[in-house]
Amino acid sequence: MQNIIRKSYLESVRRNRAAGPSPLLLSRRGGTIMNSMRQAIRLEADAVVVGTGPGGASVGRELAKAGKKVIFVERGRHPERVGNHLSMIKYVDRAGLVYSEEGLNVVRALATGGSTLVFTATACRPPSWLKDKYGIDITYEVNETEEELKLAPLPDELLGPANLRLMSCANELGYEWEPFKKFIDPQKCEQGCSDCILGCKRGAKWTAADYIAEAVRHGAILMNRVRVREAIIEDGRAVGIKGKNAQGTPVEIRGRWVIISAGGMGTPEILQRSGVPEAGQGFFCDPLRMVYGTPRDKGIGTASAPQMSVGTYEHHVEDGYILSPIIEPLFLFGASVGMRKVTALPQWVNYKSILGIMVKIKDDMGGRIDLDGKFSKPLSYDDRLKLDKGTRVAEKILEKAGCEVNDIFYSVDRGAHPGGTAPIGKVVDDNLQTPVENLYVCDASVIPEPWGLPPVLTCIGFGKRLARHLLATKN
Ligand SMILES: Cc1cc2nc3c(=O)[nH]c(=O)nc-3n(C[C@H](O)[C@H](O)[C@H](O)COP(=O)(O)OP(=O)(O)OC[C@H]3O[C@@H](n4cnc5c(N)ncnc54)[C@H](O)[C@@H]3O)c2cc1C
């Protein structure tokens, strides 16, 4: 993929030389288009897409496949050598140490592919209310993606003993656990591996970077390490974006379509600076808590199982939470359980045998995104109630799996799916256009209500739908 991207850079250099502006140099490290003279970099395209997560990658890929000239502008680096703890720290925003004013940790990746670089690769169809209440029907796009990427549950031998054990205990208790569909190619996946969250070094996990690579093969350009600040608005219409690259060189890209896909936390900052102050006023982040126990037989634990590969959505509508086995990566695990309760820290020695169940909730829309990475996200009384309710069920399942109920311990609560910061019906219309003409949003920001589900498949659906809409417009 790196070669394809480099070729595409060279092509863009050639085109820009032909067009006359100052010479652009290709970074030897292959990351960024640079201008050694510090003169502004100016480019033009049919579509400028800010952010390369599943929303941006999907819309850009469709437009590129239709022959449109697409430029992706990505704040983060292009990932190399993933699959270890260091790589995760390198590509996650501020090494994962991002906290709300109230002290809630929220995790997101800044890299080609956005948070799919570190996602656990679980695919979940959007809830029916998106169509019934908001008229956003992405059934066709979701079906198409399921077929295209062959989304399916993993076979039992890859699910592994810990997942199968927790699933059968839950079902014996009368719950309805099942294997989840995954963005994973079972042919490339390895038994006993749980490294999705560190970035998959085997290439078994689909990430949005795969869509970017495909778009680049169709002529799109990817610019890494360019942080977009705002849209360029002329006569009330968005005509491009401006920002700076890692060397501080101003970057200005004009496009027939301007699409902001900088994610639930990145998009509202750009919108606020672009004349859409209502963005980022209230959002969800699907807070989660891990519930851990060590079974008496000290068998194979969740650390040797693909994460979030079985579980249940059965409590989602009524009680606002979902359950699925996950254990945090080793370095995070120690910090997380120790911060919750220091006496749980010695459990570290049992890491390989520990069974973990994640409780993830549908939190109330609250808080706000400020400029420059600051944000507020209070957990409401109801949010805490949902976390506690899910925790009680997880404890029962762990007890059934042979864990001593008094020895059960917990991670800190944190958020991992920020969204709803430019909701459909409030900030964007049902074609994902903001009040500023030609300024579109395509990512988890547009989700209009509390969510509490894996959002990637929905973001892909939004991207494909927006591309179809744009290609059908005449302007
Ligand atoms: C640990 C973890 C596990 C997860 N597991 C799952 C899962 O199993 N299934 C699932 O469906 N979801 C999962 N998610 C959530 C999912 O990854 C995100 O919700 C999804 O990636 C959001 O997509 P997006 O398009 O909104 O933006 P993002 O993926 O957040 O991408 C936005 C991109 O925009 C870039 N950007 C931001 N600001 C700027 C700027 N100013 N200029 C230029 N670029 C900018 C960022 O660098 C980033 O690359 C997980 C998330 C995490 C953190």
463 domain-assigned: yes
Q: What is the ipTM of this complex?
A: 0.99
**Cα first-last separation, the chain:** 33
Q: Is 472 exposed, middle or buried (0-12, 13-18, 19+ CB in 10 A)?
A: exposed
Q: 168 and 257 in one domain?
A: no
pLDDT at 475: 56
Chain mean pLDDT for the chain: 91
Q: 310 and 167 in one domain?
A: yes
Indicate which atom in ligand 1 lies nearest the CA of residue 243: 42
Q: Give yes or no for residue 160 CB within 6 A of ligand 1.
A: no
Q: Which of 315, 54, 1, 361 has its CA nearest to residue 183?
A: 54
346 domain-assigned: yes
pLDDT at 396: 98
- 305: pLDDT strictly greater than 90: yes
- Give the chain's domain count: 2
Tens of pLDDT, residue by residue over 205-224, are 999 999 999 999 999 999 99
Indicate which atom in ligand 1 lies nearest the CA of residue 227: 42
pLDDT at 87: 77
Mean of the pLDDT values across residues 92-105? 91
351 domain-assigned: yes
Ligand 1: residue of 119, 424, 445, 462 to mutate (most ligand atoms within 8 A of CB) is 119
The residue nearest atom 30 of ligand 1, judged by CA position, is: 263
Q: Give yes or no for residue 360 CB within 6 A of ligand 1.
A: no
- 132: pLDDT strictly greater than 60: yes
Query: How many whole angstroms separate alpha carbon 455 and alpha carbon 445?
Result: 11
137 domain-assigned: no
Q: 445 and 355 in one domain?
A: no
**81 Rama class: left (phi>0) / alpha (psi -120 to 50) / beta:** left
C-beta of residue 287 within 8 angstroms of C-beta of residue 100: no
Q: Are strands 366-369 and 375-376 parallel, antiparallel or unpaired?
A: antiparallel
C-beta of residue 191 within 8 angstroms of C-beta of residue 160: yes
Query: How many whole angstroms separate alpha carbon 47 and alpha carbon 32?
Result: 19
Query: How many whole angstroms separate alpha carbon 118 and alpha carbon 205?
Result: 10
85 domain-assigned: no
Q: How confident is the model at residue 446 (pLDDT cuts 50, 70, 90)?
A: very high
Amino acid at site 300: I
Query: How many whole angstroms separate alpha carbon 50 and alpha carbon 188?
Result: 31
Task: Tell me the DSSP string of 241-271.
Answer: EEEEETT--EEEEEEEEEEE--HHHHHHHHH
Find the 53 Cα to ligand 1 centroid distance in Å.
5
Which residue's entry shows tokens 């045998």?
Answer: 353
Range of the domain at 427: 2-76+206-282+421-472
100 domain-assigned: no
Q: Give yes or no for residue 120 CB within 6 A of ligand 1.
A: yes
Q: Give yes or no for residue 259 CB within 6 A of ligand 1.
A: no
- 359: pLDDT strictly greater than 70: yes
Any idea of the CA torsion for 29, 35, 37, 42, to the nearest 10 degrees? -170
- 20: pLDDT strictly greater than 70: no
121 domain-assigned: no
Tens of pLDDT, residue by residue over 342-355, are 888 888 899 999 99
Find the 19 Cα to ligand 1 centroid distance in Å.
35
Find the 187 Cα to ligand 1 centroid distance in Å.
26
Name the DSSP letter for residue 152: B
Q: 292 and 278 in one domain?
A: no
Tens of pLDDT, residue by residue over 162-184, are 999 999 999 999 999 999 999 99
The residue nearest atom 48 of ligand 1, judged by CA position, is: 114
Ligand 1: residue of 417, 421, 428 to mutate (most ligand atoms within 8 A of CB) is 417
Q: 390 and 316 in one domain?
A: yes
- 334: pLDDT strictly greater than 50: yes
CATH number, domain of 295, equals 3.30.410
**332 against 294, higher pLDDT:** 294
